Structure 1
Amino acid sequence: MAIKKLSKGDLLYGYTYSYSTKDVEPGKYFPGQERVRSAFDLALRTELEGYNLYVSGPEGIGRTIYTLTTLKDASKNKRVPEDICYVNNFDNPLKPKPLLLPAGLGKAFAQDIERAIEALKEEIPKAFESKEYEEEVSRITKRVESKKEEIIQRLAEEAQKHSLGVVFTPAGIRLLPLVGRRVITEEELYANPRLQESYEKNLSEFEEEFRDFMRSLRELDHSLSDEILELRNKVASYVVDKVFSRFESKYTPYDGLSEHIKSLKLELVKNTDLFLSWHTSKGNIAIQKMLEKSFNAFRVNVIVDNSDLEGAPVVFCEVPTFQNLFGRVFYTAEMGVLYADHMSLSAGCLHRARGGYLVLRVSDLLKNPFLWDAFKKVLMHKKIYMPLHPFEDSLLPFVGISPEPVPADFKVVLIGDPYLYYLLYNYDPEFRRLFKVKADFDPIVDIGDELIEAFPKILRKIVEEEGIRHLSPDALSELFKYGVELSGSRKKFNVVFGYLVDVVREAQSFVEDDGFIKGEHIRKAINEKVLRSNLIEEKVRKAIEEGKVILRIEGEEVGQINGLSVIDLGDYSFGKPTRITASIYVGDKGIINIEREVELSGPIHSKGVLILSGYIGRKYGRDMPLHLSCTLTFEQSYDEVEGDSASMAELLAILSAIAEVPLKQYIAVTGSIDQLGNVQPVGGIKEKVESFYKTCKIRGLKGIEGVIVPQRNYDNLILSDEVLDSVEKGEFHIYTVDSVD
């Protein structure tokens, strides 16, 4: 067993800055993320189906900032997408039609139509009140009335031949008996049976001819109505054409628009009475307010106006609900029923992102499984449908509209953690087809010149954005050390800046003057952060101090050693010294793992015990059988024991018990071994070393205490200044080994 003793110089880490955040330019840097840059490049340059992007990484690493910054830069090189308008479908008003117009043209078209409607409110009534129109109506009416008089004259003459007279009543023309030149009244008719019999006979003989006369009169009435209607339509069409001629030519080159304008003009002509009613109701606000709704049928609803864009849109949907994503239909209640039309439609993020990029947090999207399925259908079918129902808790009946879908054309970027990515990848086949590119943020990067230079610039940017005080050189150095500590390696750095910024925010509260945040403020913020979470650690340490947890750190003992374990509470981890004992007696049972016997041993710990059994057999049982029984346990451990980081300590306890060679109780041991005797790295090195140091400090340091750790964990020795100072003074010692032999 080659043991190396480490000095303080071997354990130093971090970087010492000579300048503050005030001395550098702000910048948004993402050091060590080449994998992410490559993934974004692939997704952005590939227009094929399914090459959407999943941005994976821990919260606080800058996933959202990087995504939005990169997409905004890329959007500048893409064309501005079309405006999205909805117009009335005059053939089926329940299915409004979308129009895609060049950016800015949708708004202009809507304004032109609005101006046209306002103009027609004045021009149409004016045209129908003109002298020319009234004269033409009079001419048509006189001509038809003249023909009607001729027919009525002939009717009277023919009726007279059958002793019948023509009488005009409110109900129409009637035939009554004619005696001489006098028409008999109904009272006289019913009073004279002979006259009545003669009347019925004459009426029957003349009935067919009478019907022909009446048919001719009705045809003339229809002809009059048709001619007046034709005249009205002609006049209205002339007025509509005149108003539309002011702007119509601007829109003729665009597909679908000319056809809509043509249908719109016909519909305006059909609704001439609406404009006349508006004119006659002037001064009656209630009626005009009611009539105003009817004009919506002609208006244009611009749900997406891209006139202000200079490139493709980048839309970050922070609260993805059905309405926020797919848009909304605003219903209004009338007579207990909910109604809506094309002017009631409102765009969602899917509409606004068309032609550009849509950014979503996958955790928010998955909160509603129906929303996730609907969203995937948009990506698969390339169509954006609007929800039909007015709102979930409505009990009123509604006349639902079903707008025609808008073509979906955008790239989606989902932001989430790695766990959700693998969950979706393994259990949702559609996810694999739709999100073929993953940008995986690495929270732990190598310390290099790029990182050292970028670190203060990133903080300068955050300082400006949040209005935080500037950091002094020693504050930068302390915060950099904290980033190294969070990484778990002296050669690495944790770039989840969310953790670091929280410390800066809290450190600012300790600054009493108007100056910089200093190193002492950073250290205090970190210590306060620990203090808020280490209650259980203090309880454990108190139990050790009071002797309730039996722990010997003086002298030597056979078959007993101090191992080191880690307790992870989620927001805080700490180490705990643990007494491991081995008891040897005559027998052939081999090594008995007491924790396993009582089902308190996790699978990895059980594997570790079996591995050390293999090592003992390989080392000492090649030439002769090993006849021994050994019980091995973690003393005063009442929870499940998991992990193999104590296997080296367990082996030493067993060998000590077999050879009756005492072990130094003031030296704690951690490390995993393989069957060949190699010492393997383990986790939680910092917590383990510092926990034993604190335990020894409670009992009083004598200058002989220390820990043995795997050589391969050398880079993980990120210790507090207090421990480093103790190492420098020779009060506490740290040793590394790479083999148990």
Structure 2
Amino acid sequence: MALKKLSADELFLSFSYNRGTGDVSPVELFPGQDRVEKAFDLALSSSSDGYNVFVSGPESVGRTVYTLKRLKEASQNKPPPEDVCYVNNFENPLRPLYLLLPAGMGKKLSQNIDRAIEDLKEALPKAFESKEYEDEIAKINKMADQQRERILQELGEEAQRHNLGVLFTPAGIRLLPIMGRRLVSEEELLSNEKLQEAYERNLSAFEERFREFMRKLRELDHNVADQILDLRRRVAYYVVEKVFSRFENGYKSHEHVRNFINRLKEEIVKSADLFMLWHTSKGNLAAMRSLERAFNAFRVNVIVDNSDLKGLPVVHEEVPTLQNLFGRVSYTVEMGVLQADHMSISAGSLHRARGGYLVLRAIDLLKNPYLWNAFKKVLMHKKIHMAGGVLEDSLLPYVGISPEPVPADIKVFLIGDPLLYQLLSLYDPEFNRLFKVKAEFNPIIDLNEDFVESFPKIIKKIIVDEGIKDLTAEALSELLRYAVTLSGSRKKVSLLMGYIVDVIREANTLSGDSQSIDAKHIKRAIEEKIYRSNLIEEKIRKAIEEGKIIVKVDGRHTGQVNGLSVYELGDISFGKPSRISASVYIGEKGVINIEREVELSGPIHSKGVLILTGYIGNKYGKDFPIHLSCNITFEQSYEEVEGDSASVAELIAILSAISGIPVRQDIAITGSVDQHGNIQPVGGIKEKVEGFYKVCKVLGLTGQQGVVVPSRNYDNLILDDELIDHVKAGRFHIYTAESVDDVIELMFDMKAEKFHKLVSKKLYEFYKKVAKPKEKG
């Protein structure tokens, strides 16, 4: 017989360290992740498009910590990328231009330009107020005055030949008639018609020549203005060249910077009056603030400064919003209008990660579909477009800017879980093209000597990072046992370090004034962690104790057996016995799953019940037709039943109902059965066994109670010390079985062969009762 009763020694799980963490060196290790390491090696060594990485795995497995660790290592000893600057587009200020400079040069250029502007605030007014400049202006004006006098003299002489005189008025030059040597007044002219007629003839004859003189005067004025403007331009250019020559030579090898500086100097020369206004506005704070904003047109906005960066940038964006990723444009209100320029631009994570690595959580991106699509466009087109002019929610008029997109070569590492990866692969046609590398963490690895040796180093790193006490050898052993318990297998260990870190933190708090954390502190932390979450479990157990949920844990009962189910509540899972009952009668309906009839049966559970029909037909229906109707249900169950782990228990209940032989109520059963009667492994073994034990403890241990589990689930029997102690004392029993026959012999206290004959006999009696009336007919 393959039925086996397990001893306490076979159930006990212990680990023993001979020293604590006090003398252990901290090491950040990620054991058992060869698949992840190879994925990162490929991604970090490939420069081809699309070799971004989706780092997959459950929470707390160390996805982000490992990613940042590998990227920081990979980024070292590599030259940092360029600084990113924005400068004024003098031809189209609403379209600022980017400027890429070697790391550190952007900050230096910005400082040089700022210093030049400050110097020009003093140098240009000084130059325009100098004696040399005033002498040049006077010289130009003197020459112009001389030319003006000659023109006016010629004008007067020619006008006299037409009996006209020249009169200078605030409104300009006027021509009036002459009588003798006297200039006729307007009143006299208006009162003398003959004089008016002569005046009109003379004026008409002289009109064309008069216009020529006036054109000469205008050209002279324009020429003087041009000469003064040219002089101002030459003086301003001289001063600007002198100021810029202090640093300009440092950018000779950078043509794009040289071109920008040359264009900047031209614009400063054109705007020399701004510097004069600054000089004359000293003391007027409002005017100076306005002028300072005007000077921004010449400044360099360094949005990414890599002067202090060692290696490639590694940017971890924890809140990937549109502005945090793509940058922002800050608007200010001027005269009731929102205004922005190139100095209003701030960098986003994409700008800071240029040439390096960007790490972010996939779910945070996907919460905003627009953000996800915009993010993909960056990876596809390698350009960072900044939405600088969208202010749809603003009630004020605005002048938006649209900065030139910055070229981007970024390797992205998305952190997510396996389900999210599958959904993106299925429903986003661009995802697999952009994320060709999947680095999937294994949260549960084999428990071997290498891990046992590495475990203290991993815990020491946590202790150092958290700044908490060291663990004793016993505490370290207990913590490893907890990690194995989390895995659900005696041969595995869980790498969900978040749970382990929480236990260490809480044990550190519970240790009080102790110098170190002991095993009792670890145990208490685990117990209190469970206690904080098991209120519902205790209420269910209380209801069983009060008889409101009917569970029998002693005696025998026909057509009824204790199955085991698991409740998953997010932060805790626990098991409870479920009373499974079956009633049989002659009929043709076979096994009727009541849960399925009322749509409370999940597809897997329904499949398990149908398999029972296959088993019964295969076992008993080869010699005569089976005429059986059997109703089976989970009593006092009001939620959906899912899974096939109760199929062995359901089969035992059915066979008990058919045979009429009572079945033990002090033994609970879990396991899945196939059509040939083999028992298959199921999940939640620890919770199911401990759940039935706790109910038996509440209702009273008889020394006969126990649980039957599939033999292939032996590795999953990681039980509490208290339960194992009761097993050792003979007050509770755990059996493993490989076939239905093993369970039959335990539950009915008879040989399986004999039991099957009794079932077959009963089914044959059903057949005869159905067949006999037909024979008579």
TM-score normalised by length of structure 2: 0.93
Letter aligned with residue 663 of structure 1: V
Change (3 A) 1:332 1:549: closer
Q: How does 1:559-598 map to 2 (within 5 A)?
A: 559-598=559-598
The reply on whether 1:309 has 2:292 as its aligned counterpart is no
The question of whether the paired residues in 1 share the 8 Å contact of 2:389 and 2:399 is answered with no
CA distance in 1, matches of 2:656, 2:2: 18
CA distance in 2, matches of 1:369, 1:592: 47
Change (3 A) 1:153 1:473: same
Match of 1:39 in 2: 39
The reply on whether 1:336 has 2:336 as its aligned counterpart is yes
Change (3 A) 1:588 1:321: closer
CA distance in 2, matches of 1:131, 1:156: 36
CA distance in 2, matches of 1:610, 1:484: 36
The question of whether the paired residues in 1 share the 8 Å contact of 2:584 and 2:658 is answered with yes
Match of 2:13 in 1: 13
CA distance in 1, matches of 2:334, 2:713: 75
The question of whether the paired residues in 2 share the 8 Å contact of 1:86 and 1:98 is answered with yes
- Superposed structure 1 runs of 4+ greater than 4 Å apart: 390-393
The reply on whether 1:713 has 2:694 as its aligned counterpart is no
Match of 1:30 in 2: 30
Letter aligned with residue 141 of structure 1: N
The question of whether the paired residues in 1 share the 8 Å contact of 2:490 and 2:715 is answered with yes
- 1:214-264 deviation digits (Å, cap 9, x = unpaired): 111111111111111111111111111122122111112213211111111
CA distance in 1, matches of 2:272, 2:633: 97
Q: How does 1:32-181 map to 2 (within 5 A)?
A: 32-181=32-181
The question of whether the paired residues in 2 share the 8 Å contact of 1:582 and 1:630 is answered with yes
CA distance in 2, matches of 1:354, 1:208: 71
Letter aligned with residue 150 of structure 1: R
Letter aligned with residue 304 of structure 2: V
Letter aligned with residue 703 of structure 2: G
The question of whether the paired residues in 1 share the 8 Å contact of 2:40 and 2:439 is answered with yes
Q: How does 1:444-459 map to 2 (within 5 A)?
A: 444-459=444-459
- 1:294-353 deviation digits (Å, cap 9, x = unpaired): 111111111111000110001111111122111111111111001111111111111111
Deviates more, 1:691-700 or 1:173-182: 691-700
Deviates more, 1:652-661 or 1:726-735: 652-661
Task: Give the Å deviation of 1:671.
Answer: 0.5
Task: Give the Å deviation of 1:595.
Answer: 2.5
The reply on whether 1:233 has 2:233 as its aligned counterpart is yes
Task: Give the Å deviation of 1:686.
Answer: 0.7
- 1:428-456 deviation digits (Å, cap 9, x = unpaired): 11222211211111111111223222222
CA distance in 1, matches of 2:634, 2:401: 71
Task: Give the Å deviation of 1:553.
Answer: 2.3
Change (3 A) 1:427 1:163: same
Match of 1:218 in 2: 218
The question of whether the paired residues in 1 share the 8 Å contact of 2:77 and 2:310 is answered with no
TM-score normalised by length of structure 1: 0.97
Match of 2:748 in 1: none
Match of 2:533 in 1: 533
Match of 1:412 in 2: 412
The reply on whether 1:381 has 2:367 as its aligned counterpart is no
Letter aligned with residue 257 of structure 1: V
CA distance in 2, matches of 1:314, 1:392: 34
Match of 1:442 in 2: 442
Match of 1:484 in 2: 484
Q: How does 1:579-728 map to 2 (within 5 A)?
A: 579-728=579-728
SS of the residue corresponding to residue 166 of structure 2 reads: strand
CA distance in 2, matches of 1:104, 1:76: 17
Match of 1:190 in 2: 190
Match of 2:761 in 1: none
CA distance in 2, matches of 1:135, 1:512: 88
Change (3 A) 1:673 1:395: same
CA distance in 2, matches of 1:319, 1:87: 28
The question of whether the paired residues in 2 share the 8 Å contact of 1:94 and 1:401 is answered with yes
CA distance in 2, matches of 1:591, 1:341: 78
CA distance in 2, matches of 1:637, 1:342: 67
Change (3 A) 1:600 1:239: closer
CA distance in 1, matches of 2:179, 2:189: 11
SS of the residue corresponding to residue 370 of structure 1 reads: helix
SS of the residue corresponding to residue 554 of structure 1 reads: coil
The question of whether the paired residues in 1 share the 8 Å contact of 2:389 and 2:402 is answered with no
CA distance in 1, matches of 2:581, 2:77: 69
CA distance in 2, matches of 1:553, 1:280: 100
- 1:386-442 deviation digits (Å, cap 9, x = unpaired): 222476643211111111111011111111222222222221112222112111111
Task: Give the Å deviation of 1:716.
Answer: 0.6
The reply on whether 1:207 has 2:227 as its aligned counterpart is no
Task: Give the Å deviation of 1:14.
Answer: 4.4
Change (3 A) 1:148 1:67: same
Task: Give the Å deviation of 1:80.
Answer: 0.6
CA distance in 1, matches of 2:558, 2:285: 103
Match of 2:372 in 1: 372
The question of whether the paired residues in 2 share the 8 Å contact of 1:329 and 1:346 is answered with yes
CA distance in 1, matches of 2:550, 2:334: 80
The question of whether the paired residues in 2 share the 8 Å contact of 1:331 and 1:390 is answered with no
Letter aligned with residue 116 of structure 1: A
The reply on whether 1:474 has 2:471 as its aligned counterpart is no
CA distance in 2, matches of 1:45, 1:599: 54
What is the aligned-residue identity percentage? Answer: 66
Task: Give the Å deviation of 1:79.
Answer: 1.9
Task: Give the Å deviation of 1:152.
Answer: 1.1
CA distance in 2, matches of 1:587, 1:61: 55
CA distance in 2, matches of 1:140, 1:722: 109
Deviates more, 1:249-258 or 1:196-205: 249-258
Deviates more, 1:282-291 or 1:534-543: 282-291
SS of the residue corresponding to residue 256 of structure 1 reads: helix
CA distance in 2, matches of 1:275, 1:592: 95
CA distance in 1, matches of 2:14, 2:30: 19
CA distance in 2, matches of 1:722, 1:149: 121
Q: How does 1:382-397 map to 2 (within 5 A)?
A: 382-389=382-389, 393-397=393-397
**Unaligned ranges ≥5, structure 2:** 742-777
CA distance in 1, matches of 2:158, 2:587: 142
The question of whether the paired residues in 2 share the 8 Å contact of 1:104 and 1:307 is answered with yes
- 1:595-644 deviation digits (Å, cap 9, x = unpaired): 22333322211211111111121122123222333222222323322211
CA distance in 2, matches of 1:48, 1:89: 34
Letter aligned with residue 373 of structure 1: N
The question of whether the paired residues in 2 share the 8 Å contact of 1:555 and 1:665 is answered with yes
Task: Give the Å deviation of 1:488.
Answer: 0.9
SS of the residue corresponding to residue 22 of structure 1 reads: coil
Task: Give the Å deviation of 1:164.
Answer: 0.2
Task: Give the Å deviation of 1:175.
Answer: 0.7
Task: Give the Å deviation of 1:266.
Answer: 0.8
Q: CA RMSD in A?
A: 1.7
CA distance in 1, matches of 2:202, 2:584: 140
Task: Give the Å deviation of 1:370.
Answer: 1.6
- 1:511-545 deviation digits (Å, cap 9, x = unpaired): 23242121111111211121122222122212222
SS of the residue corresponding to residue 106 of structure 2 reads: helix
Question: How many matched pairs?
Answer: 741
CA distance in 2, matches of 1:13, 1:156: 125
Match of 2:349 in 1: 349
